[in-house]
């Protein structure tokens, strides 16, 4: 079931098109990665979903409502620009935002303390936000986004600048929301995060969608042009083969990038008479490699 749908959404600032005719959907129980370089239009897209700015054209449907305002108690939003009340105490902060998001009064204290424990911040309950480290503030902001147990969770760069332990903790919580049927839109420019967490991706560049699909679909559309082999013998001849673009060696392991149009079987045929081939396999492109090939060195100017 679709929790979020954008249909032909566009937004310009003066002569600059930040988002152009964007279509995407997020299903319940699915993590959709909104990917792209810095300035590709990801944050502008999220601000339109959250009704912070209004699109020039197109339609946005949030949990069956034409406006996120009508579904605000069912949403969770972690903005890229973190913003907590610095003088407010941590427990007070969580209870305050839980109340705003419609959590019943009788549940406020218990819900807030539950999230403090999840964030490893129980001992900080009566400390002011300004006394927390940057990483702990980010975790409290994440708790604020999740405290109403939303049906749709929108996360803008949620894992930036976290240490490995806190990174794993937040990833685990994100995956637990997915397992209980929450729809999640996760904006990031870190491809390894998307590869690890996302079921579906939308890659945007200069405000336009340039690639969409599940991870397997996206990889399947890109021809595997790298071969990894384990060889015995002198492999120096590989560097001179006209259909090989680059060769990287690590002992007996050799990774070869093929030129456009080259056939891996052609490479294997060239190897067999000259070296012993212990193993030979095609390496599927990573999301990072697909991202670089699709976006390249373009200079997106959106926000």
Q: Are 191 and 288 in contact (CB under 8 A)?
A: yes
Strand extents, DSSP E, the chain:
2-13, 16-27, 31-35, 57-62, 75-78, 152-156, 183-188, 200-205, 208-214, 226-232, 244-250, 253-258, 276-283
**Measuring CA to CA, which residue among 14, 84, 15, 22 is closest to residue 47?**
22
Helix axes 134-146, 90-100, angle to 10 degrees: 30
Digitized pLDDT (tens) for each residue of the chain, 303 residues in all:
899 999 999 999 999 999 999 999 999 999 999 998 888 999 999 999 999 999 999 999 999 998 778 898 899 999 987 778 999 999 999 999 999 999 999 999 999 999 999 999 999 999 999 999 888 899 999 999 999 999 999 999 998 878 888 899 999 999 999 999 999 999 988 888 899 999 999 999 999 999 999 988 887 776 678 999 999 999 999 999 999 999 999 988 999 999 988 899 999 999 999 999 999 999 888 888 888 878 875 444 444
- In the chain the domains, ranked by start, together with CATH numbers, are 2-220 (3.40.50.300), 228-284 (no CATH)
Burial call 221-248: b when 16+ CB within 10 Å, e when fewer:
eeeebbbebebeeebeebeebeebeeee
Q: Rounded to whole angstroms, how far apart are CA atoms 125 and 191? A: 35
Q: What is residue 152's DSSP assignment?
A: E
Q: What is residue 252's DSSP assignment?
A: T
The token pair that represents 127 in the structure block: 């400390």
Q: Rounded to whole angstroms, how far apart are CA atoms 170 and 173? A: 5
**Measuring CA to CA, which residue among 31, 53, 29 is closest to residue 41?**
53
> C-alpha distances in angstroms, 283 versus 50, 196, 287?
40, 18, 12
Q: What is residue 192's DSSP assignment?
A: H
**Measuring CA to CA, which residue among 139, 171, 136, 142 is closest to residue 155?**
142
Q: Are 132 and 90 in contact (CB under 8 A)?
A: yes
């Amino acid at each position: 079931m679709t929790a979020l749908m954008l249909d032909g959404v566009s937004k310009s600032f003066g002569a600059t098109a930040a988002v152009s005719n964007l279509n995407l959907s997020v299903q319940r129980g699915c993590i959709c990665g909104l990917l792209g370089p810095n300035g590709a239009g990801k944050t502008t897209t999220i601000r339109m979903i959250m009704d912070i700015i209004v699109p020039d054209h197109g339609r946005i449907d949030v949990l069956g409502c034409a406006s996120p305002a009508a579904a605000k108690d069912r949403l969770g939003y972690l903005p890229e620009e973190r913003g907590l009340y610095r003088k407010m105490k941590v427990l007070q902060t969580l209870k305050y935002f839980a109340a705003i998001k419609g959590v019943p009064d009788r549940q406020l204290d218990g819900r807030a303390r539950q999230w403090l424990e999840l964030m490893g911040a129980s001992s900080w309950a009566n400390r002011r936000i300004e006394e927390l480290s940057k990483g702990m503030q980010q975790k409290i902001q994440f708790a604020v986004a999740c405290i109403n147990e939303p049906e749709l969770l929108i996360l803008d760069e949620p894992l930036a600048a976290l240490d490995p332990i806190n990174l794993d903790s937040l990833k685990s919580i994100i995956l637990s929301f997915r397992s209980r049927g929450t729809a999640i839109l996760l904006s990031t420019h870190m491809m390894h995060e998307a590869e690890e967490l996302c079921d579906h991706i939308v890659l945007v560049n200069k405000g336009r969608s340039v690639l969409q699909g599940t991870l397997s679909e996206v990889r399947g559309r890109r021809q595997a042009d790298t071969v990894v082999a384990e060889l015995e013998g002198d492999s120096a001849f590989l560097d001179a083969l006209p259909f090989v673009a680059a060769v990287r060696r690590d002992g007996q392991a050799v990774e070869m990038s093929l030129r456009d149009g080259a056939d891996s079987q052609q490479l294997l045929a060239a190897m067999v008479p000259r070296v012993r081939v212990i193993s030979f396999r095609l390496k599927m492109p990573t999301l990072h490699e697909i991202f670089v090939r699709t976006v390249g060195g373009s200079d997106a100017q959106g926000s």
